[in-house]
Amino acid sequence: MVVLGFLPGVTAAAENSREALAMLEKMAEASRKVNYSGTFMFQHGGQAETSRIAHFVNPAGGVLERLETLDGPAREVIRTNDQVTCYLPGSKVVLVDPRGSRQFPVRVEQIQEIVEHYRVVKGGMDRVAGHECQWVALQPKDALRYTRRFCAEINTGLPLRARTSDEKNETLESFAFSTLTIGGSFRRELVQSKYAATSVKQNWRVDRSALTAGDSGDSGWVVSNLPAGFRKLMELRRSMVGKKGTVSHLVFSDGLAAVSIFIEPGAAQDSKQVLRHQGAVHIYSRAISGYTVTVLGETPAETVMQFARSLEPRTTAAAQQR
Sequential DSSP letters for 103-170: -SS--GGGHHHHHHHEEEEEEEEEEETTEEEEEEEEEESSTTS-EEEEEEETTT--EEEEEEE-TT--
Number of domains the chain contains: 2
211 within a domain of the structure (yes/no)? no
The verdict on 159 and 293 lying in the same domain is no
Q: What is the pLDDT averaged over residues 299-315?
A: 93
Beta-bridge mates of residue 93:
88, 205
Strand, coil or helix: 242: coil
Strand, coil or helix: 232: strand
206 within a domain of the structure (yes/no)? no
243 within a domain of the structure (yes/no)? yes
Please tell me the predicted confidence (pLDDT) of residue 13. Answer: 72
216 within a domain of the structure (yes/no)? no
Beta-sheet strand order (sheet of 131-140) = 118-128, 131-140, 147-153, 159-165, 171-182, 36-44, 47-57, 63-69, 76-80, 83-88, 93-97, 205-207
Rounded Cα distance, 128 and 110, in Å: 27
The verdict on 165 and 279 lying in the same domain is no
1 within a domain of the structure (yes/no)? no
The verdict on 141 and 248 lying in the same domain is no
Last residue of one domain, picked from the residues 167, 201, 235? 201
What pTM, to 2 d.p., does this model score?
0.85
Query: Percent of the chain scored above 90 by pLDDT?
Result: 61
The verdict on 268 and 155 lying in the same domain is no
pLDDT (tens digit, 9 = 90+) per residue, 147-173? 999 999 999 999 999 999 999 999 999
Please tell me the predicted confidence (pLDDT) of residue 181. Answer: 97
User: Which domain CATH number covers 172?
Assistant: 2.50.20.10
CB atoms within 10 A of CB 105: 20
The backbone torsions φ and ψ at residue 143, rounded to the nearest 5 degrees and listed phi first, read -95, 10
Domain that holds residue 81: 7-201
Rounded Cα distance, 238 and 217, in Å: 9
The verdict on 93 and 169 lying in the same domain is yes
User: Which domain CATH number covers 290?
Assistant: 3.30.200.100
The verdict on 99 and 242 lying in the same domain is no
The backbone torsions φ and ψ at residue 254, rounded to the nearest 5 degrees and listed phi first, read -105, 15
176 within a domain of the structure (yes/no)? yes
Query: Residues 298, 299, 305, 309: is their CA dihedral positive or negative?
Result: negative
Strand, coil or helix: 265: strand
CA atoms within 13 A on the CB side of 75: 13
The verdict on 237 and 144 lying in the same domain is no
The verdict on 257 and 191 lying in the same domain is no
pLDDT (tens digit, 9 = 90+) per residue, 108-132? 667 888 999 999 999 999 999 999 9
The verdict on 186 and 112 lying in the same domain is yes
**Pairing label, strands 221-223, 231-238:** unpaired
The verdict on 189 and 292 lying in the same domain is no
Task: Note whether 152 and 25 are within 8 A (CB).
Answer: no
Rounded Cα distance, 266 and 264, in Å: 6
> Would you list the DSSP string of 38-76?
EEEEEEETTEEEEEEEEEEE-TTS-EEEEEEE-SSS--E
Strand, coil or helix: 182: strand
The verdict on 245 and 107 lying in the same domain is no
208 within a domain of the structure (yes/no)? no
In the DSSP assignment, the letter for residue 251 is E
Last residue of one domain, picked from the residues 142, 172, 201? 201
215 within a domain of the structure (yes/no)? no
**Model confidence at 242: pLDDT above 80:** no
Rounded Cα distance, 228 and 208, in Å: 34
CB atoms within 10 A of CB 310: 14
171's enclosing H/E stretch is strand 171-182
**Model confidence at 4: pLDDT above 50:** no
pLDDT (tens digit, 9 = 90+) per residue, 169-215? 999 999 999 999 999 888 989 999 999 999 998 999 998 776 554 44
| Preceding peptide of 313 cis, ω within 30° | no
The verdict on 139 and 186 lying in the same domain is yes
